[in-house]
Structure 1
Amino acid sequence: MAEQITSLEDLGDAMGVAPGEGADTPATETAPVHVQKLDGEGRAYATGKRKDAIARVWVKPGSGQITVNGKDFTAYFARPVLQMIVQQPIVAAARDGQFDIVATVKGGGLSGQAGAVRHGISKALTYYEPDLRGVLKAGGFLTRDSRVVERKKYGRAKARRSFQFSKR
């Protein structure tokens, strides 16, 4: 019959684990290494999404100009709140005036488009400078806001509203 296992060392020997290794030593986990991702022209590309809007964003070093669908972003997003939403990741990363950003966005309304551009800028900044990932992740800019409009159901007036009840 096989030999008796009476201690942890015997168990380790039986399993082929060297002394000093095992459950009582902490496992050394390495954090994932994020690498810079650039295209042939030295730009970082990312796709941002929000509601039904999809934004394609390119980031490259420059004077800080932001262009959305061929227009300056202040002309495209006329409301100051939407302009602030677009600039949030740049301000949070303290990179104001260091990158030129070109974005094309389609689908949805202006609010969704501004959120999509913000998401795209955040992702593109992390591709250009992987060290910014912690700051942008803490600010919540890398998380895609998954809230979308609920679909209309059969037998309902809208997504959840019933038809008006008639007693007679």
Structure 2
Amino acid sequence: MEAKVILIIVTTGLIWLIQLSSVEATQWHSKQLLPYFRRIKLDKTKNSVYQHTVKDAIRMHLRIPLMQKALCLPKGTKVSKHLQYADVSFALIILKSHCFHCVLQLSSDCLNRMVDKARQHENKFYARFTYACKTHAEYSSDCMESGRPMYYRNLRNLVKQTEKCWKL
């Protein structure tokens, strides 16, 4: 009888340790990823509506999908619009049931390329908003609306490229 109780306690402890180690790894991955997003700086001299659009696009179409991947959350999991360190603890609760062994290797070269390409896409979007807008007046909402779908598509494609260079 005592052997069964000890075996159950040891087994429960091992399961808990295995789950804890995968949870700590994903939290480490998300903390490793956030500084790269902070490197995507916006030019404060540009139009404030434009800046707001770019900031939201980067958050919704680039940052949240990559943070979901780094946290090993299943696709479609609702996460906070402002995914920060505080939200990592919320995500850790979900992880216990969805991510038993999720091991990502985040390449700094890959993440640096992501930041560079995000800046390039932002510059192309700004061009479509200003001097490359032929059908409407520069800095108009029509120019922004015409460039927005392509910018969002480019960010979603960048997510796919970045996920491919991560090693599972």
Interval of TM-score (by shorter of Structure 1 and Structure 2): under 0.3
**Which of the two has greater strand per residue?**
1
* TM-score normalized with structure 1 length: 0.23
Decide which structure has the larger Cα Rg and report it.
1
* TM-score normalized with structure 2 length: 0.23
